Amino acid sequence: MNVEYIKAIIEAVLFAWSDPISIKEISKVIDLDLKTTERIIASMIDEFNFTKRGIQIIRMNDYVQLATKPEHHQYIQKLLEPKQNKGLTQATLETLAIIAYKQPIPKSEIEGIRGVKCDRALSTLIEKELIEEKGRLEKTGRPIIYGTTLVFLKTFGLNSLNDLPPISEFQLLTEDEEDIKDLFN
């Protein structure tokens, strides 16, 4: 395998994975030693920055991730005008609902249900102390699993999770979600 081919594979892996991934994990996937993988990724980071590309590789400690560049932000923002409303947005509420009913649950599963990434909603919920990390799953990437907090119970006036409305009402909620999706398509 030549270097160009390895770079292509790494790009593909970063794209498909889309979340931060450790360089060690990448080295396992491409079956190459850590040092060489490190070096190749470092040169990819430079190339992505140097060439006028729309995406970049950002590095956080031993993790890397594909992301858009800040200078294109204004265009991406045009895709969807800001929706300002009081309290939690629909997106955040939906994420919270999924966590409440399916906890403990990893991010990937929430995203599977909602069909969109929900990093922003998760960080809002964590910030508001409505959810918290409950540990990690023992599988690839050791994903964090989330659950609701005491603040959540208090905020929604529940004595316990058993007080959550029965699941049939929850199904109605996901139909709303379809409507929302329709709006954006």
Task: Say whether residue 154 binds other proteins (CB under 8 A).
Answer: yes
**Residue 167 Cβ vs a copy of itself, minimum distance, rounded to whole Å:** 22
Task: Say whether residue 159 binds other proteins (CB under 8 A).
Answer: no
**120 within 8 A of 80, measured Cβ to Cβ:** no
- Sole binder of a copy of itself in the list 72, 120, 136, 154 (CB under 8 A): 72
- Sole binder of other proteins in the list 36, 53, 115, 135 (CB under 8 A): 115
- Sole binder of other proteins in the list 35, 79, 138, 159 (CB under 8 A): 79
Which residue in 118, 104, 99 sits closest to 170, CA to CA? 99
- Sole binder of other proteins in the list 19, 25, 38, 132 (CB under 8 A): 19
Per DSSP, the residues of 13-70 read HHHHH-S-EEHHHHHHHHT--HHHHHHHHHHHHHHHHHTT-SEEEEEETTEEEEEE-G
Q: How many residues does the chain have?
A: 185
Task: Say whether residue 14 binds a copy of itself (CB under 8 A).
Answer: yes
d(CA 108, CA 40): 28
Instruction: Read off the tokens for 183.
Output: 């709006």
Q: Which residues bind other proteins (CB under 8 A)?
A: 12, 15-19, 58, 65-71, 73-74, 76-77, 79-80, 82-94, 96-98, 100-101, 111, 113-121, 123-124, 127-128, 154-158, 164-165, 167, 170-171, 173-174, 178, 181
